[in-house]
Structures are given as C-alpha cells and as structure tokens.
Chains A and B, each alone.
Chain A
Amino acid sequence: MKELNTDILVVGGGPAGLSAAAEAAGIGANVLIAEGDLHLGGQLVKQSHKFFGSKDEFAGTRGFEIARLLRDEIARCGDRVKTMLNTTITGYYPDENVVTAMIGEEEYIRVRPKKMVVASGAQERLIPFPNNDIPGVYGAGAVQTLMNVYGVVPGKKVLMIGAGNIGLIVSYQLMQAGVEVTAILEAMPRIGGYWVHAAKVRRLGVPILLRHSIGRALGDNFVTGALINELDEKFNPTGSPEHVECDTICLAVGLTPSNELLWQAGCKMKYVPFLCGHVPLRDKNMRTSNAGVWMAGDVCGIEEASAAMIEGRIAGMSAAASLGFKVSDDNFEKYRLRLKNLRAGEVGEKIRIGVSDVTVDGWEANS
C-alpha cells in the first residue's frame, strides 16, 4: 500500500483547511491537503453571494471568488503544499500515527503526518416527516452545488424549509437561477438568518411563513407537492394542513459538525447545542486534547466561513509552530482579535457562549 509522509496533514480543503495550509506552509511546513470533493474551496465554490464581515475576511466579495483567492494563495506556496482531491480520510490509528485515506471509491493509501489539522466541515441535518427520503427532497447545500457549481436546474418550484442564513440565501440564489420559490417555512416565531437576507427575498415576493413546518412530502417516486402546517406555541401542528405545489423540497434546517475523525483521534468532545453538535474541547490555538491534532471551521462548531478562515490560520500556524517553525505571537493576537470582533454582535452571542463552554486554558499535561 502506498504511504505518504508530511509535516502537516490538513483534512478538508474548504475555507478553514486552505487557510490552515497556507499559513503553515507560509512559515515553512510541508503540508498535504486531503479533499473529498473534486475541487478545492469547500462550500465557498457554490456561494454566489457577497460575504459579510470586514475587508480582512473579504467582505463584499462573492464566495466563489474567495475560494479562488484562497486557491491562488495555495498555488503561491508551490511545492510546500500538495493536494489530493476526491480523497476521503477514513481512519486514524493514534498508536501507530497512521491515517488511512480512500482515493475515489476503490484505492486506499496511508498517510503518516507529524501533525494533523482537521477541517472536515459539516453535513446537513434532516428533519423527520413522512416521505422525507424520496427523491426531490434535497439538502439546501446540494441544491447550491447542483445549480451554482454545475449549472443544472434543480427543479421548477421549490419549497424551502428553514429561514436561517442558508435557507434565505439559497432561496435568493434559486431565483437568480430562474427557479420559483413557493415559500420559505420557519418553525420559530422569527427568521433565524440575517434580517437583510430575509428582506432581500421578501421584496421579490417570496412569502416567509413563521411558525410553519412541513407535515409530509407528497409523491410516490419523487416529490409532487407538500402538506404544510401552522405550529402552535409548543411546535405542534394546529389547524388543517395546507397543500403546496412543488417539485422540490429544500431542507435548510441546519448543519452538524462532521466530527468522525476527531472521535477516532480520541479528542475530548462535548455536546454544545449552540455549536450544533459534538465538538472538541480546544485551547486558544485550536489544538484538541490530542496533542497532534488541531481543528478549524465548522467541524468545531457551525459558524460563518469568515470565522472558519481565521480559525484555520490560527490552527495552521500553531501546528507548524509545534514542529519548530517560527511564528510571531503578534500574529496569533491579530487573528484572535479578528475572531473576537466577528463574534461580538447579537448574532455572535450563541457562538460566544458555545465557544467559551469548550475552550480550555491549555493542555499542559500532554502538550
């Protein structure tokens, strides 16, 4: 079996992973990026909207352009960064310090990294309702991939479930692709995403129904409609269900960290609802309780890509520093301050509480 050696293995080539790789390579480390998809950039490649944040996080720049900027940065690192696409990290053997990887569907290799940064991102949540497994019920991210990366029409009439940022943004992007959005349903009494994203779709005539949820998908072999319900104070359906015509039901009901590798690495984990799942405890440099493993991005708590990129830079720098590459403390401080500023507002409150719940002073015992 083929075996590869590297200073730092970065698992995931999205905004967090690319930032970590660029930062670590920038101060001299050799980096190998393993990316499961067919391209680098992670979910940024399908974001056609302009990002929020400040200039440092490319505010006002469209997501796919940010992906290109990060790829350019990686390209400038030259031979220091090697990339493997369509490669899934499947196992971690801490005693032997061996990581197994699957290339495509059939080929397996081993990687022996000195250190590892896990930036494996997140996956979409599903909510239970009858027929939620039939074709035509799609994750919102999947719809974005289909239409924004590959230019395929996802459907004619879409019912969106969830008015968080993803539900709101994907609704807008569906309209840009010429697809009708029948309605956006939100179980809570207010939208969960940025208010401006909601205002943007409202003024184009898309109804947002608060305290509503899907009761059932209709259709035998694929979606032909949906029954929706109003919800009472206790989130139970009330009144008679309403029939909605649609051929696609798009689920934007949240993400949960893709944390399997961190479990395998024996990282101390904690369930934090505000971070949307089990996440590892961490020190201020994004190091886990496993002294050889760092983390960055959605895998350590669901947040915006702008925060993922900063976490990646901190993790990459810290992992490289642990191998003796020289880092200035000022750089750490600079990135930590940016992260703090991003999380300072009302929408950052849950993240602040969640992160403080899993941040430790240090890993003196084993670092």
Chain B
Amino acid sequence: MDLISSHPVLNFEHRAKVSFCFDGKEMEGFEGEPIAMALHANGVKIYRYTPERKRPRGFFCAIGKCSSCFMVVDGVPNVRTCVTPLKRGMKVETQSGRGAIKLFPGEGA
C-alpha cells in the first residue's frame, strides 16, 4: 500500500489490516477506514464508469457529497465508498452505469 511512512506532525493509527476483493483481485486495507482510501492506497484510480458517455470516475470529495466514488459493494450499487467502512472479505466492484438493483425473492423484472 502506498502510505505516508513518516510525517513531521501527524501520527497515523490504523486498525487491523484486512483483505478484501476488488474486481476479483485480493487487496489489503485497514478495517473501518473508508473503502475509497484502501483502493487509492492500492493504486486503484477508476471506481466507476458513467452511464451515458462511459467516462471514468474516481475519488473526488471524500465527504459523501459528490457521487463520484459510487461502486458496487457486496452486490449493492451506488455505495459511497468514501464514507463506507471497509470490512474483512468485502466484495468491491467497479460500477458500470447506474448499477443493477438487487431484487428481493419473488420480485420480478
């Protein structure tokens, strides 16, 4: 992970390092920290592609207000990865377009 190794003013305290899955690849991040930060530290820059023009989108505001970092997390689309805490074993996927909503059993298209 691309982390700041030493800093003149700040000390970084992290919780446990856990593994998660990004588009089929195993990666490591810190439990409880936003998913977007773990991805950035792993060099992942593209988080989704826009519905119409298929433009790449990534990290932007980091405070849950801009929608740039929407991804599919454990099957749920449009998750704000900048404010959603990372958990061990999470399945994180690049989102294409609007994402597909999960239907409840019995619900039909």
Contacts and interface: CB of A to CB of B under 8 A. Distances in A.
> Do any CB atoms of chain A lie under 8 A from CB atoms of chain B in the complex?
yes
Q: B-side binding surface: helix, strand, loop or mixed?
A: loop
Nearest to A131: B55
Given A105-B80, A151-B4, A38 B85 contact: yes
Interface in B52-67: 55-66
B79 interface: yes
Residue among A62, A141, A151 having the largest count of chain B Cβ atoms under 10 Å? A151
Interface stretch (A74-82, A142-150, A288-296, A322-330): A142-150
A133 B65 CA distance: 15
Contacts of B82: 142, 145
B58 A124 contact: no
Chain B interface residue bracket vs A:
35 or more
A172 to B, nearest CB: 11
A221 B46 contact: yes
A254 interface: no
B12 interface: yes
A69 B95 CA distance: 40
Contacts of B47: 135
B88 interface: no
Q: A-side binding surface: helix, strand, loop or mixed?
A: loop
A142 B80 contact: no
Interface string A155-194: 0000000000000000000001110000000000000000
Contact of B9 (A48, A134, A139): A48
B56 A134 contact: yes
A142 B58 CA distance: 12
Contacts of B79: 105
Nearest to A64: B10
B4 to A, nearest CB: 5
Nearest to B12: A151
A146 B37 contact: yes
Contact of A135 (B2, B58, B84, B85): B58
Given A104-B84, A136-B45, A145-B62, A150 B34 contact: yes
A314 B12 CA distance: 34
Contacts of A332: none
Top 9 A-B residue pairs of the complex, sorted by shortest distance between their CB atoms: A135-B58, A151-B12, A142-B62, A135-B45, A145-B62, A150-B37, A152-B41, A222-B45, A153-B2
Interface of A: 36-38, 48, 62, 64, 86, 88, 104-106, 123-124, 133-139, 141-142, 145-148, 150-154, 176-178, 221-222, 258
